[in-house]
Structure 1
Amino acid sequence: MPSRLPLLLSSFVFSTLTLSATDWLEWRGSDGQGTSSATGLPETWSETSSVVWKTPTPGRGHSTPVIVGDHIWFTTAVEKAASEAEAKERLKNNTGDQPVTVMDNVSIRALAVDKLSGKVLHDVELLNVKAPQWVHQLNSYASPSPVVHEGRLYACHGSFGTACLDLATQKVLWTNQELQVMHENGPGSTPVLCQGKLIVHFDGSDQQFIAAYDTATGKVAWKTARSGEMDPRPQQKKAYGTPLVVTMNGQPVIVSPAANWIYGYAPATGKELWKVPYGELGFSMSVRPVADAQRIYFSTSFGKSQVIALDYAGKKEPAIAWRNNKNAPKMCSPVLAGGLLFYVDDGGIVSCVDPATGEAHYRERIGGKFSASPIVADNKLYFASREGVITTLPATKEFKVLAQNTLDGSLMASPIAVDGALYLRTDKALYRIGK
């Protein structure tokens, strides 16, 4: 176990997943917070250098792959576009003014790629959705990332449905399309596993709740409506956040960011334990919080964007320790490294702040537009832009660009660092970068 993690692990319940140097079991790594134990990662690469393999990806999807043993699994959507007349008719119910795409039919699929060769081994349909809700042009029909545990892959795609896949047999064990909301811009929340439950957000413009599926059967175990007062405008009620599990007073708590409020829930029952208002409008977040032994850190995303730190250690209910509205990210999750908090806003300004006070050590522009969340590995930070550029910085108070490497295509999925290699998914292909 890396030396920087013992304190974190002593105060957390990271679902029921096991940290491994060779696995990457969910969107932000097996610790759930974007931290990797990988070392010896490549420093420079391009389309013509340090690419061990490049595998074109079918369909369209922004989900971050997961790695189990020698297999890399990821989800994608094979789409059939709606006719112009059909799209126009369905968009009569659209309450927003965002650029969206409309499909007649979508096949959401799970693919397995061999980690060593890049060969596609399996291609399994998880869900088939007719006349699905539209999605934002920056979103896809396969944006939520899958989660793996004990030989099963769980993929939750909001109102499109949730599926459980047996990785050994490639059989879909169960699906559930019972829970429905109007996402407006398409689903984006990735699930979390805890105490035999698959827990996921459903924060639409029409209704907002958090729910849990029984992992064995796929049945809804509990469903809890958001209790906080919302902005009256439908578009300002929606959110796409991902929960994090922490331990408070010896018990696991689901920390759940939604529109205008962050909540704490009991994973076994869904009982609301506490909620904290942002104090300013915040909605449409696609972020996941991070936490250390003292505080929880997250961005309120759209509206009056701010980064908030909550004191939670030894408390029955968290309290706001500090807030900062400078260069708060709207789409990218933060990352903790070396006793520092790092985040990048959508326009490419990286902030390094003191986690205790929120005071900035630096705010510097690296360029580009960002949707993917950064990771830290080998004491370096990796930021992936929509222009296909990975910027590497030291995980220190000193701002220094160590490298900027470019691949063809857009990077919407977050990077993965495993076994001395980087795995990068663009909108065109999946790469293994290494020696």
Structure 2
Amino acid sequence: MQRTSFAIALAFAAITSLGRTVANDHWQAFRGDGSGISETADLPTEWTPDKNIAWRSDIPGYGQSAPVIWDDAVYVTSSDGPFQEDCEVHSYDLTTGEKRWSQAVNVTSKVENYFRNSRAAPTCVVDESGVYSFFASGDVTAMKHDGSTRWSTALTKRYGEFDNERGVASSLAQDSDHVFVVIDHHGPSYVVAIDKTDGTIGWKTDRGERVPSWSSPIVTEHQGRSLVIVSSSDTVDAYDAKSGERLWQVEGIKGNHIPSATVVGDRVYVGSTTMYGGESDEDMVAASNCCIELTVDDGKPGYTMRWGAERANSCYSSPLVFAGYVYYVNKIGVLYCVSAETGKQLFAKRIGNPCWASAVGVTNSTGEQLIYFVAKNGFTIVLRPGDEYDQVARNQLWDRGQMIDAKEAAAKARKANMVPTDQAKPKTGPEKVFANMPESSLHTMFSYDDPTAYAVAVAGNSLLVRTGQHLYCVRALP
């Protein structure tokens, strides 16, 4: 395919610039607009439990979803009860951390509250009309900004229960008209568009029976057409956002079950990892951490494979594409940096802990570019983007007392939410192996512990960090 020099310059600018940016006072979905990038945010580079922590607020129940932000309101979700029958959306004041309201969702299906399951993991989307939530029960609910319910749609009642022992974690995506949900599981899988005005189904496209996955869709505009990009269950697919028509599919991807795709300009960056019961060949998985270029040929959307990484692995968090680089973090906390243009590895560095929260890239008011990697143990590594590892700071979010309190509170909640033995569904697959092991042993084996930093968001000059039971706001204080 030939290009003019001007087109090449534009393509290169799309890679080396910030890409699609998030409005300074909004963070509307998982990873903002799906890129994890915020323009002109003056976040502190240093903090401790006693410095630059503006507030910490309790979240009832337990949850793993990321915060979303509209103006001065922060929204998160949580669930509680042996079968996650108590699902709620909460609103907090961005400035003070004061909780404004909590609103229950009408739960139509029960899901076992098992600590290795995702719990209130799907992230909401928010717009000028309100906040839209999704829970493992299959319920998608729209609420106004004051917490009143507009509508609720039960996907499991329409299309059947989800067959995924590790729970549902795929977050919502949105355009101006619809919210989009992807369900990839052992049963009939699908992507569905739900009308924002009344909760009716705009379209539903079947995906066949799939390997269970937890990645999230992303919406992007290309050549005047709105696309829903889904990197999940060993393929990457593009759907027409208006009709649900599948426009193309990339096969042969291995291990893209957890990280979501990142779109910058006309490039789609895919994250993949080795998995128990899935692909274990590190070379094949590395090549599946790849770059796909969006194309149009005779008016028909298509794609071109640009590159596959030689050595990269993206486990829990999604790849960040920022300042001309792509960053991945694997399951043991190794950070990989490759060129966004070529996929060439520039460095690999152990940063101490895996990241369950996806990294964010920020440009402050002086033009300085910084990356924030929030590890699951509460430490944040601040880096300058570049060909070499350039660490600015390493900061801890909570102190020992807060850590002990969180451990005790989580243990108490797990005990209260334990499913009676005679009501628990028999475990299958990998979970069958662990079913009779003491929970303490499983916590040690899989490093499932509290507090865990699950997700982040940026709005104004604030960095929001969400743990299972708390919401932190990091902000430069006088």
TM-score, normalised with respect to structure 1? 0.84
Q: Which of these residues, 336, 351, 356, is aligned with residue 351 of structure 1? A: 336
Q: Which runs of 5+ in 1 are unaligned?
A: 82-102, 231-235
Report the Cα offset of residue 396 of structure 1: 1.9
Q: Give 1:158 deviation, angstroms.
A: 4.5
Equivalent of residue 88 in structure 2, options 109, 113, 122: 109
CA gap 1:392/1:35 in 2 versus in 1, 3 angstroms: same
Q: 1:6 to 1:356 in 2, by over 3 A?
A: closer
**Which residue pairs with 2:324 in the alignment?**
339
Residue 319 of structure 1: how far off its partner (Å) = 2.6
Query: Does the CA contact (< 8 Å) of 2:356 and 2:376 recur in 1?
Result: yes
Render the CA deviation track for 1:293-348: whole Å, top value 9, x for unaligned: 34210113333333021122445321322212623112211111111111211211
- Aligned counterpart in structure 2 of residue 143 of structure 1, from 105, 108, 121: 121
- When residues 266 and 195 of structure 1 are mapped into structure 2, their CA distance, relative to the original with a 3 A threshold, is farther
CA distance in 1, matches of 2:345, 2:12: 26
Aligned AA for 2:164?
H
2:388 is equivalent to residue 388 of structure 1? no
Match 1:206 to one of 179, 187, 190: 187
User: Is the 1:111–1:120 contact (alpha carbons within 8 Å) kept by the matching residues of 2?
Assistant: yes
- C-alpha change, 1:214 and 1:431, in structure 2 (3 Å) is same
Partner of 1:369: 354
Q: Is the 8 A contact 1:41 1:420 kept in 2?
A: yes
Q: Does the alignment pair 1:308 with 2:290?
A: yes
Q: Distance in 2 between matches of 1:343 and 1:12?
A: 17
CA distance in 1, matches of 2:18, 2:333: 31
The structure 2 residue matched to 1:157, chosen from 127, 132, 135, is 135
Aligned position for 1:177: 154
| Contact 2:60/2:78, CA 8 A, preserved across alignment | yes
C-alpha displacement at 1:63, in angstroms? 0.7
Match of residue 393, structure 2, among 403, 420, 430: 403
- How many angstroms apart in 1 are the aligned matches of 2:247 and 2:458? 35
Overall identity of the aligned pairs, in %: 22
- CA distance, structure 2, for counterparts of residue 154 and residue 8 of structure 1: 30
* 1:88-134 deviation digits (Å, cap 9, x = unpaired): xxxxxxxxxxxxxxx3x42111111111211111011123355x233
How has the CA–CA distance of structure 1 residues 249 and 423 changed in structure 2, closer, same or farther, with 3 Å as cutoff?
closer
Q: Which residue of 2 aligns with 1:430?
A: 471
What does 1:65-144 correspond to in 2, within 5 Å?
Answer: 65-77=67-79, 79-81=80-82, 103=83, 105-129=84-108, 132-134=110-112, 137-144=115-122
**Aligned residue pair count:** 393
Instruction: Specify the alignment match of 2:438 in structure 1.
Output: none
Residues 143 and 150 in structure 2, CA contact (< 8 A), matched pair in contact too:
yes
In the alignment, is the contact (CA less than 8 A) between 2:317 and 2:329 conserved in 1?
yes
- Rounded to whole Å, the distance in 2 between the matches of 1:67 and 1:48 is 25
* Structure 1 residues 423 and 257: alpha-carbon distance in aligned structure 2, compared to 1, 3 A threshold: same
Amino acid at match of 1:238: P
Summarize the Cα distance change of 1:340–1:280 in structure 2 as closer, same or farther, 3 Å threshold. Answer: closer
Indicate yes or no: 2:255 matched with 1:282. Answer: yes
Q: In the TM superposition, what are the counterparts of 1:36-47 in structure 2 within 5 Å? A: 36-47=38-49
CA contact (8 A) 1:322 1:358 kept: yes
2:238 corresponds to 1:264: yes
2:445 maps to which residue?
A: none
User: How far 1:242 moved relative to its partner?
Assistant: 1.1
* Larger-Rg structure: 2
Query: Does structure 1 retain, via aligned residues, the 8 Å contact 2:309–2:345?
Result: no
2:203 to 218, 222, 231: 222
Contact 2:124 2:134 (C-alpha < 8 Å) held by counterparts: yes
The answer on 1:22 being equivalent to 2:25 is yes
Distance 1:293 1:7 in 2: 9
Contact 1:12 1:247 in 2 (8 A): no
- What is the aligned partner in structure 2 of residue 93 from structure 1? none
Contact kept in structure 2, 1:175 and 1:218, CA below 8 Å? yes
Structure 1 or 2: larger helix share? Answer: 2
Please report how far the alpha carbon of residue 38 of structure 1 lies from its aligned counterpart in structure 2 after TM superposition.
Answer: 3.8
- Which position in structure 1 is the counterpart of 2:265? 293
Residues 199 and 28 (structure 1 numbering): CA distance in 2 closer, same or farther, change over 3 Å? same
Gaps of 5+ in 2: 1-9, 280-284, 364-368, 399-449
Q: Which amino acid aligns with 1:226?
A: R
Q: Given residue 354 of structure 1, which amino acid in structure 2 is its aligned partner?
A: S
Secondary structure of residue in 2 paired with 1:402: strand
Amino acid in structure 2 at the alignment position of 1:420: N
Specify the SS of the correspondent of 2:302: coil
Report the aligned-residue RMSD.
2.6
Q: Is the 8 A contact 2:119 2:136 kept in 1?
A: no
Cα deviation, residue 280, structure 1: 5.1
Q: Is the 8 A contact 1:385 1:410 kept in 2?
A: no
